Structure 1
Amino acid sequence: MTTPAAYGSWPTPLTSELVVAAAVRLGEVRVDSDGTVLWAEGRPSEGGRTQIVRRRADGTLTDLLPEGFDARTAVHEYGGAAWWVDGGTVWFANWSDQRLYRVDPDSATPTVVSPEPATPRGDRWADGVVAPDGSLVLVREQHPPGGGPAQVRNEVVRLHPDGEVDVLVTGPDFVTSPRLDATGGRLAWVSWDHPSMPWDDTVLTVRDLGSGADTVVAGGPGESVSEPRWQDDGSLMFVSDRTGWWSLYRWTPDDGVRPVLVEEAEIGVPGWTLGTSRHVTLPDGRVVAASRRAGYDRLLVRAPDGAVEVLDLPLSAAGSLQVAGPDAVVLVAGGPTHEASIWRVTIGEPEPEVLRPARDLGVDEGYLSAPEPIEFPSTDGDGAPRTAHALFYPPASVTHRGRDGELPPLLVVIHGGPTAAASPVLSVGVQYWTSRGFAVVDVDYGGSTGYGRAYRDLLKGAWGIVDGADCIAAARWLGEQGRVDARRLAIRGGSAGGYTTLAALARDDTPFAAGADHFGVADLEALAADTHKFESRYLDGLVGRYPEDRDVYVERSPIHHVERFGKPLIVLQGSEDAIVPPNQSQLIVDALRSRHVPVAYLLFEGEQHGFRRGENIRRALDAELSFYGQVLGFDLPAEEGIEPVEIER
């Protein structure tokens, strides 16, 4: 028997304490030459640092980094590929000083291996491979003393054991994925130049290190290439969207580029971080790849004769694939009813082996809301009709239900990027809301990944228009379907999603009753003038060239339309955010204060872009819930003891 109660007020075991309790962010996986599996764990309980964990064949787990070390690189600010392993030795970039360290098999003390930079954290390292001679080939990002984004250099270098550095590739604005073939005689890498982003136009090049001759393998205007991997036969496998979908191809000097696995689904992902791995090749030539269709990943196996098998696995999102034997791969994967885990999948066996299980939430599954993929009508930047996509989560509770005649409030969630995608993996952060009586819709607005390049390109020149239109369309459509209360719609997003939140609220016709801006962009001009190198020209494609198109920047910036704001807003910001600086949040808060629009503002000291510390994650969630309770009119469960957030009026 369930008890009727106001939506939003239901008591739940999925509290903010549970969100962070024993929580980890499982990152990249590596397999050493002896089959040992290692992976990264981001731990909110340890200040958000990233630990590297080694799992021996007998199941023994060992944390490799002592206190004070954090395997995280600041290359591109978003990082990725901060560590790698070979022969039992682990190399990693340390967050605090960004220098490169080595941990040997018989030592628990990291040893610094990169030279002292000219300025603190001035040399940043990532995406390394070990050459046959013991040197490292990797990406180095240099920040000269006193230099701005235009002076930052991204290069492929060779770091020798004595600390000497040879520059191998220089000139392009960005370089990633340096990969040596088995002999160490050929180097492949991906590059691109401003104003492109890695999901726009990249180039894959191969160099014969003996002769110095370069060969452009793929890429150029209108083609995004990524994830080059040398094969045992000397060919090069890579991902390209030349057909409109990120598919898999093989290159040889004699035959050129040939398709390997091409379908209307996405193997590639946008290159926000380095070191993505969505395809591997087993020793017998079978290719295993993660492929996304309609918002869900599948694991495919392509035989050498071209036959393709879809593995029957309980996953909906997968990444960081690595070969782990003649018939096996390891990967990070999760599903609608379980958080991400480290899996070993052996082809031909019915069940995967879980090497690092997700935490046991200890929660009745009746509290968990499963995502439902939905399609709904929307419009493009010119007003033409089209279809948009989202994942919808209805309220779920074992003990409570809504009162007769009432419908649940809706929380519209906007992912970041904006080229990212909604993830259909169990998120306690989503269940925090649905188990209290909220409905949630996670919108894959135009510009999102997973629906082909044409869908991704809908946002070109239309940021703040197409994304906002899709979020509003999703909310209105769900209201028209009678699934949510159209009078109690709220919108929330972080980073790029924070901008969309603000842009949607700064409309005369906004349907939203409230919003939550997590470190979002309020002033596009300020962002164009004050951001890091990786994104310093991103707005050229999303908005227009600056300052030539300044009028568009002004028109699209929520800060210039504060007169349209009339709905309550909560703003949450990290004090050390280098991607969306705190002044962006301060601008919008000051503007709303001046107009007496209800606003709550929380600034978290020491946080960067995205909250990593457990105590801050908890406070941000509970403060947002308190904010909605005050605005939408429901009480908070007394037993949780949530501290009310102050709303300035």
Structure 2
Amino acid sequence: MTTVSAPYGTWHSPVDAALAASHDGHPEYLGSVGEEVWWTAPRPAEGGRRTLVRRRADGPELSVLPAPWHARSRVMGYGGTPWAAVPRPARGPLAVFVHFADQRLYAFEPDAPEGAAPRPLTPVSRVGGGLRWADLQIHPERGEVWGVLEESTGEGPGDVRRVIAAVPLDGSAAGDRAAVRELTDARHDFVTGPRLSPDGRRAVWIAWDHPRMPWDGTVVMLADITAEGVFTAVRPVAGGTGESVPQAEWAPDGSLLFVSDHSGWWQLQRIDPDAVGGGAVPRTTLCDRQEEFAGPLWKLGHRWFAPLPDGLIAVTHGRGAAVLGILDPHTGELADVPGPWTEWEPTLAVDGTRVRGVAASPRSGHEVVELDARTGHARVIGSPHTDPVDPAYYPEPRVRTFTGPDGREIHAHIHPPHHPDHTAPEGELPPYVVRAHGGPTSRAPLVLDLEIAYFTSRGIGVAEVNYGGSTGHGRAYRNRLHGQWGVVDVEDCAAVARALADEGTADRARLAIRGGSAGGWTAAVSLTTTGLYACGTISYPILDLTAWATGGTHDFESRYTESLVGPPAEVPERYRERSPIHRADRIRAPFLLLQGLEDTICPPEQCERFLEVIAGRGIPHAYLTFEGEGHGFRRSDTMIRALEAELSLYTQTFGIPRTDVPALDLKT
């Protein structure tokens, strides 16, 4: 086939915005229900809802919940495991799920006679955001489902309490808040769902308090359980203000397993709960590697490890990535799972010797994978990847480490322009978009992303920067952002962009910055400080630190800036100096602002105030808002419009002639 020479950015590609939108999202919150495997799955074309999918043993995938049922929790803004199910001989499974629209718990029997609808288990509250639930566990022997209850006590975002609570499965609490049995008090600002010991006599969970985030410091709580199901003798057994424990589970022998970053890395540890007393509890590190065996607890119910009945432990681990391995806790030996998957999500489930998870790679999307720990054989059992276009159009990423200010390391994924049938004229350098991930305590995984392919297959490179503060490289790397948000992240993105230009990989005059949420903050700050980028795309961003930290966001992140920036009362000038809304006069580059109108984490009010400051300054810009969208876009029509608008911004700014996307109306 003849290769066509055409300028970067003009290449024609079968990866259109509709295709990228249709493949957005992936299986999540996976669990074993007897021999079946269940998970939630995205439906972008159905208003962005998530359905509940079941796969029978060696059978087909079936959607458990028809539209408009939507299994998604709002707890802590980002949610958590929104369902639980148990098998019942001869009757089929019983499922309980959170319906997104009203956040009530519903019971559902998918094998019941046709027409049996979900029935409510919890009441509606008219106070604030009402009653919200996540991280569920059904206990049929007690006739209850346990989970985290987040309850509004007023109309403000901080008027909220969180407890572990039990809900009757018979529906008696559907109209009676008093029938919801609280298992803990509200002494802690945040809690995860409890895990019962093998003998049912104890429960363990994780708690933490403002101003700490769960990756700063958490406490592992232990309680005895009476025959009546009451928690007693509640006491801490691990963790602390400077130690992050994102997951705790029981081993089959009754010992307690948890992941702690006490060493500077999230590592798997074990304690004997019977040794808990007045002093320090002896702990054993099960695999002493300088790798991460967990990640940031953004959503309740994430599982980075899962004990097997024979004492082995399925674990995700790695540096800058998370692969699946089987750990022998007695020898410390770790055997990784064979196969093409290079990134495993924090959602593991076990059924006997079978381990189920969600995994992807740079050449394949997220799939549901099952490992037989006895044989070492792994296979795809759900949501199988199929190539929607010729894989020749996929990006060919490179994992790189750059040098930033003061010689510090910066980790990034570089996706050069790539097309099987196109090359650029000799001597031309490509435009590049620098992507700052959200969080900011998170990272960009190296997996197939058709949104990236949308740009690279058209001749626009993409650089994903895991700037200082990102996870995957230990606590010291994560803590680089302490007090330095808006500095280190901006410097690291700029260092990667400059390095690409200096080495002749990217066109220095055609660099763009983009990001969403915390990445939107980084993109906006970059436009006000660096003078490096020709344009930027800013999605659902933080633009005013002071407003965001004083009641302008949800409770979970309301004091996040105390570690990222500093206590507002002590460094108020820092909040003002770094906020793009107070630096808007320094912006010289065109930008695109994208915002969901139902966003409670980064409300549209900040964008509106920012635009008022920009008005009349002669800076080309566009502001697109989307009804029915919250923090992060989930509807296919929204994603199509946003992606095409972003491409139009780049083609107009970089002088790339394209007529196959709607022109973005840039106002001044």
Same fold (TM over 0.5): yes
* 2:272 is equivalent to residue 252 of structure 1: yes
Q: In structure 1, what is the equivalent of residue 183 of structure 2?
A: 168
Q: In structure 1, what is the equivalent of residue 325 of structure 2?
A: 300
Superposition deviation, residue 130 in structure 1: 2.1
* 2:545 is equivalent to residue 519 of structure 1: no
* 2:122 is equivalent to residue 114 of structure 1: yes
Contact 1:23 1:43 (8 Å CA) reproduced: no
| Letter of the 2:218 counterpart | T
The C-alpha deviation readout for 1:458-514, integer Å capped at 9, x for no partner, is: 00110000000000000001111111111111000000000000111101x421111
The C-alpha deviation readout for 1:231-271, integer Å capped at 9, x for no partner, is: 22111111110100111111212454211123111111111
| Letter of the 2:577 counterpart | E
Q: In structure 2, what is the equivalent of residue 592 of structure 1?
A: 614
Of 146, 159, 167, the match for 1:151: 159
| Letter of the 1:493 counterpart | G
Root-mean-square deviation (CA, aligned residues, Å) is 1.6
Moved more, 596-605 or 195-204: 596-605
Residue identity (%): 39
* 2:645 is equivalent to residue 645 of structure 1: no
Superposition deviation, residue 362 in structure 1: 3.4
Unpaired stretches in structure 1, ≥5 consecutive residues? none
Q: In structure 2, what is the equivalent of residue 224 of structure 1?
A: 244
Aligned to 1:18, the other structure's residue is in SS state helix
For 2:129 and 2:486, locate their aligned partners in 1 and report how far apart those are by CA, in whole Å: 34
Q: In structure 1, what is the equivalent of residue 90 of structure 2?
A: none
For 2:349 and 2:29, locate their aligned partners in 1 and report how far apart those are by CA, in whole Å: 13
Superposition deviation, residue 328 in structure 1: 1.9
| Letter of the 2:534 counterpart | A
Q: In structure 2, what is the equivalent of residue 234 of structure 1?
A: 254
Superposition deviation, residue 198 in structure 1: 0.4
Superposition deviation, residue 22 in structure 1: 5.8
For 1:21 and 1:236, locate their aligned partners in 2 and report how far apart those are by CA, in whole Å: 42
Superposition deviation, residue 57 in structure 1: 1.3
Aligned pairs for 1:169-208 within 5 A: 169=184, 170-208=186-224
Moved more, 194-203 or 99-108: 99-108
* 2:69 is equivalent to residue 69 of structure 1: yes
Aligned to 2:246, the other structure's residue is in SS state strand
For 1:370 and 1:112, locate their aligned partners in 2 and report how far apart those are by CA, in whole Å: 48
Contact 2:269 2:284 (8 Å CA) reproduced: yes
Contact 1:287 1:302 (8 Å CA) reproduced: yes
Of 290, 311, 317, the match for 2:343: 317
| Letter of the 2:525 counterpart | A
| Letter of the 2:497 counterpart | A
* 2:573 is equivalent to residue 551 of structure 1: yes
Of 376, 395, 401, the match for 1:375: 401
Q: In the superposition, relative to structure 1, how do residues 564 and 22 fare at CA in structure 2: closer, same or farther (>3 Å)?
A: closer
The C-alpha deviation readout for 1:41-76, integer Å capped at 9, x for no partner, is: 011011110100111114122211122210011100
Q: In the superposition, relative to structure 1, how do residues 581 and 230 fare at CA in structure 2: closer, same or farther (>3 Å)?
A: same
Aligned to 1:534, the other structure's residue is in SS state coil
For 1:136 and 1:378, locate their aligned partners in 2 and report how far apart those are by CA, in whole Å: 50
Q: In structure 1, what is the equivalent of residue 278 of structure 2?
A: none
Q: In structure 1, what is the equivalent of residue 132 of structure 2?
A: 124
Contact 1:364 1:398 (8 Å CA) reproduced: no
Q: In structure 1, what is the equivalent of residue 298 of structure 2?
A: 272
For 2:337 and 2:611, locate their aligned partners in 1 and report how far apart those are by CA, in whole Å: 50
* 2:646 is equivalent to residue 621 of structure 1: no
| Letter of the 1:14 counterpart | V
| Letter of the 1:136 counterpart | V
For 1:181 and 1:572, locate their aligned partners in 2 and report how far apart those are by CA, in whole Å: 46
Aligned to 2:478, the other structure's residue is in SS state helix
Q: In structure 2, what is the equivalent of residue 103 of structure 1?
A: 108
Superposition deviation, residue 206 in structure 1: 0.4
Of 583, 587, 596, the match for 1:565: 587
| Letter of the 1:271 counterpart | L
For 1:157 and 1:643, locate their aligned partners in 2 and report how far apart those are by CA, in whole Å: 51
Moved more, 103-112 or 610-619: 103-112
Aligned to 2:417, the other structure's residue is in SS state coil
Q: In the superposition, relative to structure 1, how do residues 84 and 580 fare at CA in structure 2: closer, same or farther (>3 Å)?
A: same
For 1:547 and 1:304, locate their aligned partners in 2 and report how far apart those are by CA, in whole Å: 47
Q: In structure 1, what is the equivalent of residue 504 of structure 2?
A: 482
Superposition deviation, residue 96 in structure 1: 0.5
Q: In the superposition, relative to structure 1, how do residues 350 and 133 fare at CA in structure 2: closer, same or farther (>3 Å)?
A: closer
Aligned to 1:300, the other structure's residue is in SS state strand
Aligned to 1:631, the other structure's residue is in SS state helix
Aligned to 2:645, the other structure's residue is in SS state helix
Aligned to 2:392, the other structure's residue is in SS state helix
Superposition deviation, residue 591 in structure 1: 2.2
| Superposition misfits of 4+ residues, deviation over 6 angstroms | none
Q: In structure 1, what is the equivalent of residue 98 of structure 2?
A: 93
The C-alpha deviation readout for 1:328-372, integer Å capped at 9, x for no partner, is: 211000001001111112236465221123452332222111221
For 1:67 and 1:357, locate their aligned partners in 2 and report how far apart those are by CA, in whole Å: 19
Q: In the superposition, relative to structure 1, how do residues 402 and 415 fare at CA in structure 2: closer, same or farther (>3 Å)?
A: same
Of 142, 147, 152, the match for 1:138: 147
For 1:351 and 1:179, locate their aligned partners in 2 and report how far apart those are by CA, in whole Å: 29
Q: In structure 2, what is the equivalent of residue 346 of structure 1?
A: 372
Unpaired stretches in structure 2, ≥5 consecutive residues? 88-92, 174-178, 276-281
Superposition deviation, residue 78 in structure 1: 0.4
| Letter of the 2:455 counterpart | W
Superposition deviation, residue 612 in structure 1: 0.6
For 1:514 and 1:472, locate their aligned partners in 2 and report how far apart those are by CA, in whole Å: 13
| Letter of the 1:140 counterpart | L
Q: In structure 1, what is the equivalent of residue 279 of structure 2?
A: none
* 2:4 is equivalent to residue 3 of structure 1: yes
| Letter of the 2:467 counterpart | Y
